[in-house]
Amino acid sequence: MRPDERGDVRAETGRIARTACRQEPSGAPARAADLRRTRSVPWITVRRARACGWLDAVGIGAQRDRPARPRVRLATVARLPRYPAPRRLSMPGTGPRSETRRTPALRAAGRALTAIGLTCTAALCVVGAPAALGSRPASGVENEVAVSGDIPRGRQLSFGRCGRMFNRPFIEETMAAHPGARFTAAVHDHRTGCRHYLNFSLEITTASVIKAQVLAGVLLAAQDAGRRLSESEAADVELMMRYSHNRPPTSRLYLQLGSAAGMEALDERFGIVGTSHTAWYGRTLSTAGDRTRLVEQLLIGGGPLSTESVQAAWEWMSGVSAAQSWGVTAGLPAGYEAALKNGFFPMSGAGWRLGTTGAVRDPTGGAYAMTVMTDNNPSESAGIALVERIARRINAALTAGTPAQRAVDQVECVEPPRGSSWSSAAEMLGGVDAVELRRLNGGEPRPLTGQRVCWT
């Protein structure tokens, strides 16, 4: 209420009180009816007392059928303690003139709050929409605090203060460069606490990316037993992690851990909730978020593994063969260290499945973990290009400096025709040792159709 309005009300109150003073005692109910017109004014009784010299006990809000009560002299009331009358508060937007009293600052604040509310509502409508395994990812570029707008087939999710790592142009260009391929990524920067997701709900079969969890299980089992890895376990881990051999080393370790049931038990210990394991470990269905949650505990710490086990895992995963050191290393400047495990294997109905999972240490001791998984690639080379496109984007956002030369950039690679042997592939590379070539490239009986075969 403005001061000028308050003064007008007080004047009107005094007039009504003086008029009521001239009424006879029998007119008390009528006076109460008059006073009900000004019941919103808390000091009306005092005004009447001052104007008339008495206080009507009927007061404001008296009923017409209530008999008149005797007057009480002001001297009697004066002996009682006097308390200040409560003030009636008026909040912007609650009175009849609220629109005229609202300040420009309040209008601006209201518009901002409305925008935030609409944005958060949109985020709740979009976040978590599932992407079917056999279909393209649903549309929507997402941020956990604010939605940035919809785009076809790509989703990116980041905490609000962390910014947006995968913007609309990047995702659209990636989809145009790799039509038909599906991709997902998850990043956790331990230096800032920021998390970033690309197609965060998309589930993809892991291929050899799951071998990082097999390594974690072997290390945890030895740690629980209070022993080191046996010679046979160490030899199997060497072939599994450095050269990505499947049979027999990985199969032997997988069975030793309890197959799918043993992996589910590991999920509970590492806090993994969205992965489906099978007897065929390469067909494990998982999300990039789950793989990142596993690899950060394996290579950075904070999980059930001891410091010694984490360091052992880093030594194995930072020493993969040069031909398989793509992925996490894409675009890293000098001074940054990476440890990783890649996956590369075709599957009926899913094309070539390419993925990378690992962690990066910066020169100051900070670290971040990432996972990129893809499928429906026409060949291994095409899948590597897609994985590295996303990994390079991640590293560009989280590092500083010019990308350094990598060992994988120095290797010579060919794609043998369908049905080729390791001997024919060795001839294509200038007559290199076929046995060593097979060991360096996954150890399968013969090169896979569409496989990139490299020699270092």
What is the arithmetic mean of pLDDT over 183-193? 97
**Are 370 and 352 within one domain?**
yes
Q: What is the distance between the terminal CA atoms of the chain, rounded to a whole angstrom?
A: 84
User: Quick one: tokens of 177?
Assistant: 């460069």
**Are 191 and 287 within one domain?**
yes
Q: Residue 92 above 80 pLDDT?
A: no
Q: Residue 306 above 90 pLDDT?
A: yes
**Are 441 and 375 within one domain?**
no
**Are 58 and 166 within one domain?**
no
Of 327, 318, 344, the C-alpha closest to 390 is: 327
- The pLDDT tens digits of the residues spanning 273-291 come to 999 999 999 999 999 999 9
Q: Residue 237 above 50 pLDDT?
A: yes
Residue 103 lies in a domain: no
In this structure, are residues 415 and 187 in contact, taking their beta carbons and an 8 Å threshold?
A: no
Domain CATH number, residue 255: 3.40.710.10
**Are 203 and 350 within one domain?**
yes
**Are 383 and 416 within one domain?**
no
**Are 139 and 73 within one domain?**
no
- The pLDDT tens digits of the residues spanning 340-386 come to 999 999 999 999 999 999 999 999 999 999 999 999 999 999 999 99
| Global pTM value | 0.68
Residue 29 lies in a domain: yes
**Are 432 and 354 within one domain?**
no
Residue 104 lies in a domain: no
Residue with tokens 């990039």: 288
81 class by beta-carbon count within 10 Å (0-12 exposed, 13-18 middle, 19+ buried): exposed
Which of these ranges, 13-27, 52-66, 269-283, has the smallest mean pLDDT? 52-66
Which of these ranges, 92-96, 222-226, 322-326, 348-352, has the smallest mean pLDDT? 92-96
**Are 179 and 68 within one domain?**
no
**Are 200 and 319 within one domain?**
yes
Q: Residue 78 above 90 pLDDT?
A: no
Mention every residue, 6+ apart, whose C-beta is less than 8 A from residue 441.
243, 323, 447, 451, 453, 454
The confidence band for 36, taking pLDDT boundaries of 50, 70 and 90, is: very low
Query: What pLDDT does 66 receive?
Result: 44
**Are 262 and 158 within one domain?**
yes
Tell me the residue range of the domain where 432 lies: 411-456
Query: What pLDDT does 13 receive?
Result: 53
Domain count, the chain: 3
Residue 85 lies in a domain: no
Which of these ranges, 50-54, 239-243, 248-252, has the smallest mean pLDDT? 50-54
**Are 266 and 226 within one domain?**
yes
Residue 69 lies in a domain: yes
